[in-house]
Amino acid sequence: MSAPRPRIETVAYDTLTVRLFEAIDEAHMPWILAADAALRERFDEALIDLVPSYTTLMLHYDALRLGQAEARAMIVEALADLAPASDREGRHHVIPVWYDESVGPELVTIAERLGVEPADVIRRHCERDYCAFALGFAPGYAFMGLVEEALATPRLSTPRQRVPAGSVGIAERQTAIYPMRSPGGWNILGRTAVTLFDRSRDEASLFRPGDRVRFEAIDRDTFVEQGGDPTPMEAS
Amino acid sequence: MGADESINQGEPMAAQEKGATLIVRDAGALALVQDGGRFGVRHLGVTQGGAVDWVSLGWANWLLGNAVDAAGIEITLGGFVVEVQTSTTLALAGGELGATLDGEPVPPHTRFRVDAGQTLAFGQATSGLRAYLALPGGVAATPFMGSTSSVIRECLGGLDGEGRALAVDDVIVAAGREPAGEARVIETPPRFTEETVDLEMVPGAQIAQFDGASVFATFNERWEVDARADRMGVRLIGQALRNGAGGMISEGIPLGAVQVPPDGQPIVLLNDRQTVGGYPRLGALTPLACARLGQCPPGTQLRLVPVSPHRTRRQMQAQFARWR
């Protein structure tokens, strides 16, 4: 893939969006990560926030130090000789998941739709590495993908009022884990005991944009041993 | 925002023991510990938080000689009551919420003495929506990711770090016992009484995806603040706006972003917004306009006024210069 031509867009008086791509593709992430590193280095103390997401990076700079023209020039300069980050750049996580109808009701509905056993859905969800394209919705919530086309499932028409922490879900070709109990409309397949956002941890969030994640099926006993809460979905 | 490096870092326990203390007797509608907000963590999905009307929090802090983004109490709509445990000096800015000290009116935008045993009570909003109470040195609380701002949805910040609103019997401890500087007076305090409020918006690149009639309507029609308004966002009611963008790929969202979902009614995204989203945007209100919107109750009539990033920057510099 040749180097993308960045487009710099005004989004607020102190914020620019750098648009690198037009479509979602895991092959874009090394470029996004490289741009992330280059912009962090170039802006340094004048950087307030930098938010990579799928095809863009939103750059919030300190407007008391920099004008917008200056900030644009710095972006152009920082991205002049962009080369994709290596595959090893992002960290790799293995997330143990207890896949079960009691904590993941849509495991069965997806299996039925495909005319396969739930075990087959589990195997296919665990089969590939997913890329964390962006974090949002809640602290530590990573939008990951892409799941196999056949598993793609639209969001629930009526979102649940309460999705328990650790719930693993699918929406379209994306997969995610709810870091804390919250409302949500994703199709839930199972639950993990892994804490995704831990205030006592150095960076709090387990995932960062660009990380790679693979799911691994475990049984109920292992899940409980790992500290998981097996309370069924409807009672949560 | 993000202008002052000296975001309140809270105080160690030893300092808390000598700080002035207030006890909450009535939580009112909503009272939250807020400072200038949480920055540098948006890529982890953590929202900004912070005082919605950061200008009024700034004035309250300025009156006491605090860092302008030190933690104070954001009181929404009123009903909040505290009992003073330690004689000290407090400051109040923002909306007029009928504050009284032992029954005597306390006007906003002033610094005032309080004695142990006195009761500071807020009534109902008569102008504006949010009042800001500053304490000497700011509210003492342990910062998380550089801020003590409370975000209820994220369970972050505030007195106990769990993000919850202030509740009856909570003990609010100041970082200091008395203000650092001499008494100060605000020459021209902000007013929240205009019949129609002008809010400046920096048009964003995506405004090009809206049809011409919608762009015209954006800046020429009146907008009304909807009842669906909170610290995440404020819905505006008016002519439906159309765009050809359809479903977009999610990207980062700045403070004040004016996004337009498929029903065509804009939503201004504020401090507790989600960090990424996929609706097309007209642009972003300036931070000064966001602060002003934070004082607009439902039903307020608005006009959106285009402004350049350059002009906004000068206005922001002027605002910070007033606090020097």
Is B324 in the A-facing interface, judged by CB distances under 8 Å?
no
When pLDDT is cut at 50, 70 and 90, the band that residue A89 belongs to is low
Instruction: Let me know: does A29 contact A210? Beta carbons within 8 Å.
Output: yes
Q: How far apart are CA A56 and CA A22, in angstroms?
A: 9
Going by their DSSP bridges, the two strands B100-101 and B104-105 should be labelled as: antiparallel
Strand order from edge to edge, sheet including A7-12: A7-12, A15-19, A56-61, A47-53
Asked if B40's CB is within 8 angstroms of A68's CB, the reply is no
- Is the previous residue joined to B32 through a cis bond, with omega within 30 degrees of 0? no
Using CB atoms within 10 A of its CB, is residue B104 exposed (0-12), middle (13-18) or buried (19+)?
exposed
Beta bridge partners of A215: A95
**Can you give the residue ranges of every domain in chain B?**
3-173, 196-322
- What are the pLDDT digits (tens) for A173-223? 999 999 999 999 999 999 999 999 998 888 899 999 999 999 999 999 999
pTM attached to this predicted model:
0.93
Domains of chain A: 7-88 (3.30.1360.40), 90-225 (2.40.100.10)
Is A137 in the B-facing interface, judged by CB distances under 8 Å?
yes
Give the angle B27-B31-B36 at the CA atoms, nearest 5°: 160
Mutate to test the interface with B, among A8, A13, A50 (most CBs of B within 10 A): A13
Give the contacts of A169 (CB within 8 A, at least 6 positions apart): A106, A163, A175, A176, A177, A178, A184, A186, A187, A188, A189
Q: How far apart are CA A183 and CA A156, in angstroms?
A: 12
The minimal CB distance from B43 to the residues A13, A15, A52 is found for A52
Q: How far apart are CA A103 and CA A100, in angstroms?
A: 6
Mutate to test the interface with A, among B5, B44, B273 (most CBs of A within 10 A): B44
What's the mean per-residue pLDDT of chain A? Answer: 95
Q: How far apart are CA A101 and CA B233, in angstroms?
A: 36
Tokens read off for B52: 């919605």
The minimal CB distance from A49 to the residues B40, B153, B316 is found for B40
- What are the pLDDT digits (tens) for A116-152? 999 999 999 999 999 999 999 999 999 999 999 999 9
* pLDDT score at A15: 98
The 3-state DSSP class for residue A145 equals strand
Q: How far apart are CA B8 and CA B66, in angstroms?
A: 9
* pLDDT score at B126: 94
* pLDDT score at B17: 54
Residue A196: name the closest of A154, A152, A135 by CA. A135
Q: How far apart are CA A18 and CA B168, in angstroms?
A: 47
Which CATH code fits B196-322? Answer: 2.40.100.10
Phi, psi for B70 (deg, rounded to 5): -65, 155
Separation in Å, CA of A89 to nearest CA in chain B: 17
Which run of H or E residues covers position A66? none
When pLDDT is cut at 50, 70 and 90, the band that residue A90 belongs to is confident
The minimal CB distance from A67 to the residues B153, B307, B313 is found for B313
In this prediction, the answer to ipTM > 0.90 reads: yes
Separation in Å, CA of A115 to nearest CA in chain B: 30
Instruction: Let me know: does A142 contact A177? Beta carbons within 8 Å.
Output: yes
Asked if A136's CB is within 8 angstroms of B277's CB, the reply is yes
Q: How far apart are CA B196 and CA B216, in angstroms?
A: 19
Mean pLDDT by 10 residues, chain B (324 residues): 39 57 98 98 97 98 97 98 97 97 95 97 96 98 96 96 97 94 88 95 96 97 97 97 84 97 95 94 98 98 98 98 93
